[in-house]
Structure 1
Amino acid sequence: MTTPITRTASEELAGLRLDQALARLFPDYSRSCLKRWIEAGRVTVDGETRRPRDRLAGGETIELYPAAEIQAEDLPQDIPLDIVFEDEDLIVLDKPAGLVVHPAAGHHDGTLVNALLHHAPELAELPRAGIVHRIDKDTTGLMVVAKSLRAHTSLVAQLQARSVKRRYLALAQGWVTAGGTVNAPIGRHPLDRKRFAVTPTGKEAITHYRIAERFPHHTLLRVSLETGRTHQIRVHMAHLRHPLVGDPLYGRLRLPLGASEALIQTLRNFRRQALHAEKLTLIHPATNREMSWKAPLPDDFAALLEALRRAYAGDDDHDGDGWEMIWPTD
């Protein structure tokens, strides 16, 4: 068998069936998959195999021996990856815009999972092919992938402890007066299931932002995450009424009064959220040393900023007023 993943059943799991407890202890695996592994003897409780319906007392040591179960959509595919660091425990990559992380409805292949399984077939043994966090399809920048069980366990713990530092560059519409923090829960939008929103029933979400560069009608922000909710930066900036340039879900393209034709075309042609995972810092699971990586802006984002700089070179009247029109981006 493979190397086991070990967990201790907390007192909160006392009285639960084994299959129910495993669903809480190993959320990266499906319930049906976990049940099959229990029945196949790939799960031990204090060194002994059990049945799915057997109940826990709390405090037991549970060992899971995962088996590689590649779904049809998770077949390896030769998709280029921009890898900035790799060793026996980690892969750090710079994800391009347009690359979906996990197979899903509408994206059954051609994903990061497919690319990773081609690059490192042993990732099939790990939950979600070693992916411990994600960034949106059209967001660019740094992601870390676990290549070993010890790395997976360590990275999940670091993410839960909020010790992994993730910094983004985001171009927001409007004049953001100063840096700040948004502490507002995020959950599913009550009317549109494709979107998320700030809602009292949502999960805790904390975003810190600082001014990196100002333009008359846009603000480049450096954004750091304490939590990792889906669409977190996009939702929080829209909540502040400063949606990201190009965001197809949470904003509309606003063209500033008097903008040149060149700038108007650049803004119209930027049809994805202007969001880039610029910097990633974590503790290496084997050496216990802090490591950090930084990824340059992709060409389209860099060109967008350069167009803004050219358009407003020498312009000191940065009052943020004067929108000419609003165009939907979809």
Structure 2
Amino acid sequence: MNTEAPDDLDDLDSAGSVPQESGRPTAEVTPELDGLRLDAAAARLFEGHSRSRIQQWMEEGSLLVNGAPVKRLRDLARTGDRLELLADAPEANWDVTPQDLPIDVAYADDAIAIIRKPAGLTVHPGAGQRASTLQNALLHHFPQTINVPRAGIVHRLDKDTSGLLVVALTPVAHTRLVEALADRDIGREYDALVTGAIVAGSTIDAHIGRHPRDRLKMAVTTAGRRAVTHYRVQERFKHHTLLRVKLETGRTHQIRVHLAHLKWPIVGDALYGGRVARGVGMSEKLRAALLAFPRQALHARELQLEHPITGELMHFTAEPPEDFQAMLELLRREERRNNAL
């Protein structure tokens, strides 16, 4: 697909935009855009969407010209043409209801917001859950995100993973953050409490794809996509280790799958074998607490990125929630007890 563009489209002001109808972005081709290819004209009119993204939507039939899908990518724009952007269904917000749900905003300006997501909050609606997600909450607290794919969600955290994520509040910010994520320019580090005594840090470079038998799980498989996870030891316990994990890629369940593959499942992770409490000399109190821990002990602690508009390098940190810290304190008390014997 040809993605050549005549100008730096991100730096151009939108021209000819008209009010949205039925919640969908619409625009009218102005005389200065007459004769341009439709993808180039649409990228100028719908500010913040890259030309390659516009081309993808054109191929999917999601860009209408005077009410009809574009027939050819090389069609030309003509003065007065009315463009309507349907956007691709997985990213659209039209069927997502804004909800006044509490969210913890660590930082916000006109372009981005940094959210501290609690464990138990689903990031965006899916087949099994259509409401009470972060996307529903964002559409209420930041109504401008109606015009941003997935209400500005750039990367996701699993429902039971806590911690930081960045949200784009404008189409321009979204496009640039998505590109930064693809270029691995957004730094993400996690705290992970695992079962197993790990001696030193290392890197896991193993492809991840859908599990061949259990469709709810991911697995290390040669048929998957390359996934790279770096980890280092933060704190050692007799039968457990607190790791600091850095993502180089961002596959579904990547940290959970990679660590479980090495037989170090994350504490509380029932899906990948972490709901266990084994170890010689473990107290019954610790054993019971490990078995009762209701989720994977995984927390997105640090987020580093370049601001998509100003270029400022930004760094955010969030301490783990109370349940995670309580488990660590219990492990520390167990260590002190063992050392005193």
Relative to the length of structure 2, the TM-score reads 0.78
Q: Distance in 1 between matches of 2:240 and 2:97?
A: 42
Work out which of the residue numbers 251, 274, 286 in structure 2 matches 1:263: 286
Pairing 1:112–2:112 present:
no
Which residue is 1:284 aligned to?
A: 307
Aligned partner of 2:143 among 106, 116, 121:
121
In the other structure, the counterpart of 1:321 is none
Q: Secondary structure at the match of 1:249?
A: helix
Q: CA RMSD in A?
A: 2.3
Matched with 2:63 is: 37
Partner Cα distance (1:268, 1:124) in 2: 41
What residue number does 1:274 align with?
297
Alignment of 1:1-330 (within 5 A): 1=17, 3-8=46-51, 21-23=55-57, 31=60, 35-40=61-66, 51-56=69-74, 66=85, 70-72=93-95, 74-251=96-273, 252-313=275-336, 315=338
Aligned equivalents of 1:24, 1:179: Cα separation in 2: 46
User: Structure 2 CA distance, aligned partners of 1:5 and 1:170?
Assistant: 36
Q: 4+ residue runs of structure 1 moved beyond 3 angstroms?
A: 5-10, 64-72, 314-317
Decide whether the 8 Å contact of 2:277 with 2:291 is kept in 1.
no
Q: Check conservation: 2:194, 2:264, Cα contact below 8 A.
A: yes
Instruction: Give the drift of 1:227.
Output: 0.4
Q: Distance in 2 between matches of 1:231 and 1:219?
A: 19
5+ long unaligned stretches in structure 1: 11-17, 26-30, 42-49, 58-63, 318-330
Whether contact under 8 Å (1:245, 1:253) holds in the other structure is yes
TM-superposition CA deviations, 1:266-315 (whole Å, max 9, x none): 11210211100000000001210100000011000000000000111164
Question: What residue ranges of structure 2 are gaps of 5+ in the alignment?
Answer: 1-16, 18-24, 26-45, 76-82
Deviations 1:5-54 (Å, cap 9, x if unpaired)?
Answer: 453459xxxxxxx9xx42499xxxxx4xxx2432456xxxxxxxx95321
AA of the residue aligned to 2:72: D
Partner Cα separation in structure 2 for residue 121 and residue 67 of structure 1: 18
Partners in 2 of 1:121 and 1:151 — Cα distance? 15
**How many angstroms apart in 1 are the aligned matches of 2:265 and 2:330?**
19
Task: Compute the displacement of 1:66 (Å).
Answer: 4.2
CA distance in 1, matches of 2:47, 2:66: 14
Change (3 A) 1:163 1:106: same
Give the match for residue 79 of structure 2: none
Distance of 1:173 and 1:240 partners within structure 2:
11
**8 Å CA contact 1:66, 1:125 repeated in 2:** no
| Secondary structure in 2 matching 1:115 | helix
What is the distance in 2 between the residues matched to 1:144 and 1:153? 13
Letter in 2 for 1:234: R
Question: What's the TM-score, normalizing by structure 1?
Answer: 0.81
> How many equivalent pairs are there?
285
